Structure 1
Amino acid sequence: MNYVDEDLRILPEVIKNEVKNLTASVTLNADFVKTIDHCYQFSLCLPEEPSPMPIEVKRLLVFMKCEKKLRMALCMKQHILKNMDHFDVSEIQLEGSPDQEKMAEKILHILWGSEEREDFEIY
């Protein structure tokens, strides 16, 4: 489980090799690998400004927060897809031909967007 080297640099290939066979779903595993790449690239975008915290530690924290959020989104999307028949999606507008994947994305965005609003403002 050496996710970082001795200089605290993230080792994305080690992490990707570990998550490649995390679930039985090939698609979900591929999505997990994409999130590792995305979060790693995102962590490299941090500016190197003077700080008491070393840049490697900042990158590690950003990577972990990003990966956690995207992993949760992937799991939520899979759960929505599995339980799509429990949602009334008649009012959701989609561009192009509607499919289960796009619909699950839209529901996920609606659920996450509702977190930003007051509790009763969404009803």
Structure 2
Amino acid sequence: MFHITVREIQRTSQDYDGHVDLKKFWDAVTVEMLSRGFIPYGKKNPFVVPLSYNNWAPWIGPQTRQSDLILNTEFQKIPTTTMSDDSEYLEVTEERLSDEIINLRVIIM
């Protein structure tokens, strides 16, 4: 699990067409995960896969796809307008959300 806000994810370039090499991406993720066991504590992992809309690929099994090149449409979900007035949006932390859920009362009729 990781904690990241939408604003921290790198945006796509204007010429991005949505195609991602699934095999290349998941091989890179595998190397990153395996390397965590070999990187000394406090050292930066050189195999980190950066989070970006044009780099992410869903897992689709090799026997259920036609090729390694797939269409990733997640980047199309990015809001086209920028949030200029942050006061409209309420920032809710994970801790506050879990506290609110714990404090809910169940009404039995």
Instruction: Flag whether TM exceeds 0.5 (same fold).
Output: no
Question: Highest CA radius of gyration, 1 or 2?
Answer: 2
Does 1 or 2 have the higher relative contact order (CA < 8 Å, sep 6+)?
Answer: 2
- Report the TM-score when normalising by structure 1: 0.25
Structure with the higher fraction of residues in helix conformation: 1
Structure with the higher fraction of residues in strand conformation: 2
